[in-house]
Structure 1
Amino acid sequence: MVDEKKPIFAHMEELRGRVLVSIASVAIFGVLSYIYAEKILMLLARHAGHLVFISPQEAFLAYLKIALFGGLVLSAPVILFNALRFVWVAFKKSEQSAFVLYFLSGVGFFISGVIFAYFIVLPAAMKFLLGYASDFLSPCISVSRYVNFSFFLILAFAMAFETPLVVLFLTRLGVVNASLLRRKRKYFIVGMFIVAAVLTPPDVITQILLALPLIALYEISVLLAGFIKKVADPAGGTDDS
């Protein structure tokens, strides 16, 4: 619902201002990421060893990718905050506290996914993949491709860790419930391995490392859905969906 105390032009002006602030934050954090691109690359490369660039512009483009990715990720809280503030008036008082909780939980799950991917999945994936090196087969990893590989892997896990939040939101909307989630568990498990195969590099270890946390997060989601059911309907009643 639109805040009737403000004319539509005032809302458009506010939207314009918040979009400009968001763009500026991406630019500022992008510049900072470019300045520290070498240090960021060193943190990523610790799992890969020596990196090379095979074209004159490749190293420069890799730095630009780091700047773009860093700008988007670091400015995400600013962007989300401005989006939240813009739609804030559309929510009731009781909904505002829930919205803040969703926001903070989403940030927490996202950061958890990044940490899990960087400290556990990326080292394990690189150890497995580089294990194919031999006396006649030596790794020569392109910096640009490794940056793509690392960022895509980290982003995939960060997004995957939002699963409980998505399920929680769908549960509150009444789209799913704990009973339905339990009955469809086997389909979800198969689906998670398919998603893991699509999102991760083509090696079994990385796919398993993504699928297993997703399954664990799904089980957490089932528990959360059951908890919401009990809170919303203390009298009980079995889900029949």
Structure 2
Amino acid sequence: MTAPDDGGEGSLFDHLVELRARMLRAIAGVLLVLVALLPFTSQLYTWVALPLVSRLPAGQQMIAMNPAGAFFAPIKLAFLVAVFIAAPWLLYQAWAFIAPGLYKREKRLALPLLTSAVALFYAGCAFAYFLVLPMVFNFLLHFKPDIVAITPDINAYLEFVLVIFLAFGISFELPVALVILVLLGWVTPAQLKEWRGYAIVGIFVVAAVITPPDVVSQLLLAIPMIGLYEAGIIAARAVAPKTDAAAGDSAGSGG
């Protein structure tokens, strides 16, 4: 009786030590990237502010509502960019910790899902920066009253942009979420196809809730999500168990 208990305690202790080591490596990776970015905090903020600043009338610029804002906003942005850049390293540390406990099929599916999740999040943020933010600011500046001068606070602007980035980055994970639901057996590809109409309505509701209150950003989030929903159905069919895939095909042909 004593040996199994000691073995269990030893195994738990080994896992905790491994978890601590992986967390320290993850933190060290983020700090290393952050140190490399610190000399470029001003350039980073200028780059993030470009979609708005480039559309302001001549002579208008951003302001800091409190004296420390001009210092802390770029530092906060540098830290977030460091986490963004180090995301593959962070996921690798998580993968290295959980992979030994997975079966071969789980490993074969988990790694592509993690890679796809990172790529889709990056794609969502890039879509938001290069397309959504310019169109949103064009819309907002075009319809503002002429007597209103826009002088945005740098902290308020950063929070606004971060909300947009998170909204689009997380929303672009929709195909991965659908594939996981199918792998867990909670839904089938046939059900996802059958629920397409409800999904489209739900997508527009979600877009209206998590984006700023303007039509442009809501449409720019909802339309890609509809396409991603269709991509999720296709990917789910590829990874679904054969019985589910066959059932989905027969249900589709019957319909």
3-state SS, counterpart of residue 86 of structure 2: helix
2:15 to 11, 16, 24: 11
2:215 equivalent to 1:204: yes
Percent identity reads 34
Deviation, structure 1 residue 154 = 1.1
3-state SS, counterpart of residue 43 of structure 1: helix
2:106 equivalent to 1:109: no
Structure-1-length-normalised TM-score: 0.89
Q: CA RMSD in A?
A: 2.2
- The residue correspondences of 1:168-179 to structure 2 (distance < 5 A) are 168-179=179-190
Deviation, structure 1 residue 235 = 8.5
Kindly indicate which of the two structures has a greater share of residues assigned to helix: 2
In structure 1, C-alpha distance between the alignment counterparts of 2:162 and 2:244, rounded to whole Å: 44
In structure 2, C-alpha distance between the alignment counterparts of 1:214 and 1:149, rounded to whole Å: 21
1:93 to 94, 100, 104: 104
2:35 to 7, 10, 31: 31
Q: Which amino acid aligns with 2:152?
A: I
Q: 5+ unaligned residues in a row in structure 1: which ranges?
A: none
Structure-2-length-normalised TM-score: 0.84
- Contact 1:37 1:63 (8 Å CA) reproduced: yes
2:246 equivalent to 1:236: yes
- The residue correspondences of 1:135-214 to structure 2 (distance < 5 A) are 135-214=146-225
- Contact 2:30 2:83 (8 Å CA) reproduced: yes
In structure 2, C-alpha distance between the alignment counterparts of 1:83 and 1:43, rounded to whole Å: 31
3-state SS, counterpart of residue 135 of structure 1: coil
- Contact 2:69 2:154 (8 Å CA) reproduced: yes
> CA deviation digits over 1:56-101, x for unaligned, max 9?
1111121132023113212221211111001111112232222211
- Cα distance change on mapping 1:61 and 1:154 into 2, 3 Å: same
3-state SS, counterpart of residue 189 of structure 1: helix
Q: Which of the two has higher C-alpha Rg?
A: 2
- Cα distance change on mapping 1:51 and 1:235 into 2, 3 Å: closer
In structure 1, C-alpha distance between the alignment counterparts of 2:163 and 2:144, rounded to whole Å: 23
Q: Which amino acid aligns with 2:13?
A: F
3-state SS, counterpart of residue 186 of structure 2: coil
3-state SS, counterpart of residue 176 of structure 1: coil
In structure 2, C-alpha distance between the alignment counterparts of 1:160 and 1:177, rounded to whole Å: 21
In structure 2, C-alpha distance between the alignment counterparts of 1:74 and 1:235, rounded to whole Å: 37
In structure 1, C-alpha distance between the alignment counterparts of 2:26 and 2:39, rounded to whole Å: 20
Deviation >6 Å, runs of 4+: none
